[in-house]
Structure 1
């Protein structure tokens, strides 16, 4: 019985912690955060935009600077 009570308290504590952390987030900021994994690849960002209709703020990947691409250690 004690284990059940501790498990319930753990779940309630976790739920309250998540609620507290997300208290000041808006729907727009959560939507933007869900699209972050696609932002570094423009081709994937384009496909996600076509599939979902949501705009992905894609950034171009950094190009290697001359002399920095083939370093051997």
Structure 2
């Protein structure tokens, strides 16, 4: 019986902590956050926009600067 109480208390604590962390988030900010992984690839961002109808705030891919060497690690 005590184990069940501790499990319920743990689930309640987890739920309250998630609610506390997300208290200032709006539906728009959560929607923007879900599209963030596609923002660095313009081609994928375009396909996601066509598929979902939502605008992805894409960034331009990084270009090599003169005198700098880009290393792939």
Q: How does the TM-score come out when normalised to structure 1?
A: 0.87
| Change over 3 Å in CA distance of 1:69–1:14 after alignment to 2 | same
The alpha carbon displacement at 1:70 in A equals 5.5
Q: Which residue of 1 aligns with 2:65?
A: 65
Query: What TM-score comes out, normalization by structure 2 length?
Result: 0.87
> Which blocks of at least 5 consecutive residues in structure 1 are unaligned?
none
Match of 1:12 in 2: 12
Equivalences for 1:36-51 in 2 at 5 Å? 36-51=36-51
Runs of 4+ in 1 over 2 A off after TM superposition: 66-71
- Unpaired stretches in structure 2, ≥5 consecutive residues: none
Superposition RMSD in Å: 1.4
